[in-house]
Structure 1
Amino acid sequence: MTVAWTAHRFSGGILALDTTNTVVLRCDPARRFDRFDDPAEISRFAAAASIFRHQEIGRPLTVADADAVAPKVRALRESTDALFRRPAAGKPLEADAMAGFLRHCATAIDGREELLATADAPFGPPDKPLAFETALAVSALSLLLPANLKRLKICPNCGWLFLDKSRNSSRLWCDMSVCGNRTKARHHYRRTRMQGEKTYG
């Protein structure tokens, strides 16, 4: 089924986390599913990311061969989640997870003839096409910056990883308009139900 790559799908704060979140209900084996099972969705995701992550990347993202690049993208996505879900939960990084993550970053970049990067443009020359897997690796590596590590969070509603860019690091959900409202609606329902039970109990 074709995915609608709307703004909500880019609630992670940076490309690497948006990509990690393409595995839906990751922590629920019975209901978990992968939006990249169809490699064609990687191309469509990259096209949407060119718009929604333009401020981060500054370049249009391209996928030359979705079938060929899919294993690299999925491997980097999974190693990113394995490494950074721990600090998002207040735990230290693991050496084994770091080693795998760095290998997959290197694999995603190896053999690419890309112009990377300057202090002002970490993804290289603005407005020139950039391979999606290269941009994904650069974005993922940026999560190792201390300023980013301490802002990593896990949405309590859906389990997505996100970077809390709010001024006082008070953001609770990946997307207030979706997960925030759903959580508030559930709490309201429970309160109303409890009040009803007290009234008629």
Structure 2
Amino acid sequence: MSFTWTSHRFSGGALALDVANSVVLRFDPQRRIDRFADGEAIDNFAEAANLYGAEKERFGMLGAIGPERQASLIGLREATDRHFRAQVRAEDRPELLADLLEAIAAAVRRPSERGKYIALDVATAHSALSLIANPEPDRLKICPNCEWLFLDRSRNRSRTWCDMAVCGNRTKAKRHYRRNREETQP
């Protein structure tokens, strides 16, 4: 199946959150889609993050990772999702932080080629570590439409959806449809 990474896929506000959001409909087993199931999609993600990612200036050019590192990136992704999702829900789960720190350590310990690119897994680990080191719990949210994690960078911390153009519009359109339907029914 062909898939194109668009700017909407990078609405998390941090590389680690965008990687965590690479699973669509995470909690719906029948409709769940893992965008990283194909190794080529991971490489395409790195290329797209260079265009659309919120931390592209911080990391510079992200590079592809080899097949031997992809399982580790998936482990880092899952640990990131579990930890920050629990943080948003104010769950006291220190074991999830420990799991995330272990996944971060595994990623940064791997040798990476020096050059103009930083490996996607290493950059993701640094992004996750930055979110841990500089917590802004009131800015970290879960989109009520798609359940993606995102950072609310709005001045008054009132952002509701990961992306107003997609999730916000869908939610408002559903509400409008229901309201109109109720008004037309006798």
Matched residue SS, 1:30: coil
- In 1, the alpha carbon distance for the partners of 2:92 and 2:117 equals 33
- 1:172 is aligned to 2:153: no
Residue among 132, 138, 142 paired with 1:154: 142
Write the letter of the residue equivalent to 2:99. G
- In 1, the alpha carbon distance for the partners of 2:108 and 2:3 equals 27
Write the letter of the residue equivalent to 2:161. W
Aligned to 2:27: 27
Aligned to 2:177: 189
Q: Which TM-score applies when normalising by structure 1?
A: 0.86
1:149 shift after superposition = 2.8
- In 2, the alpha carbon distance for the partners of 1:194 and 1:166 equals 34
**Which digits, 9 at most, give the CA deviation of each residue in 1:43-73, with x for residues without a partner?**
00001111222545341011241x2121011
- 1:129 is aligned to 2:130: no
Aligned to 2:18: 18
- In 1, the alpha carbon distance for the partners of 2:99 and 2:59 equals 28
Aligned to 2:47: 47
Write the letter of the residue equivalent to 1:86. A
Aligned to 2:102: 103
Aligned to 2:85: 85
Cα pair 2:112 2:119 within 8 Å, conserved: no
1:25 shift after superposition = 0.3
Deviates more, 1:178-187 or 1:145-154: 145-154
Assess, with a 3 A threshold, how the Cα gap between structure 1 residues 64 and 24 changes in structure 2: closer, same or farther: closer
- In 2, the alpha carbon distance for the partners of 1:142 and 1:20 equals 15
Aligned to 1:118: none
Aligned to 2:151: 163
CA-atom RMSD, angstroms? Answer: 1.7
Greater Rg over alpha carbons, structure: 1
Matched residue SS, 1:29: coil
What count of residue pairs does the alignment treat as equivalent? Answer: 185
Matched residue SS, 1:165: coil
Assess, with a 3 A threshold, how the Cα gap between structure 1 residues 30 and 4 changes in structure 2: closer, same or farther: same
- In 1, the alpha carbon distance for the partners of 2:40 and 2:112 equals 23
- In 1, the alpha carbon distance for the partners of 2:135 and 2:57 equals 16
1:93 shift after superposition = 4.3
Deviates more, 1:53-62 or 1:27-36: 53-62
Cα pair 2:65 2:121 within 8 Å, conserved: no
Write the letter of the residue equivalent to 1:105. I
- 1:142 is aligned to 2:130: yes
Q: Which TM-score applies when normalising by structure 2?
A: 0.93
Write the letter of the residue equivalent to 2:101. L
Matched residue SS, 2:2: coil
Q: State the identity %.
A: 48
**Structure 1: gaps of 5 or more residues:** 116-126
Assess, with a 3 A threshold, how the Cα gap between structure 1 residues 58 and 79 changes in structure 2: closer, same or farther: closer
Write the letter of the residue equivalent to 2:7. A
Runs in 1 of length 4+ with deviation above 2 angstroms?
53-58, 111-115, 145-150
**Structure 2: gaps of 5 or more residues:** none
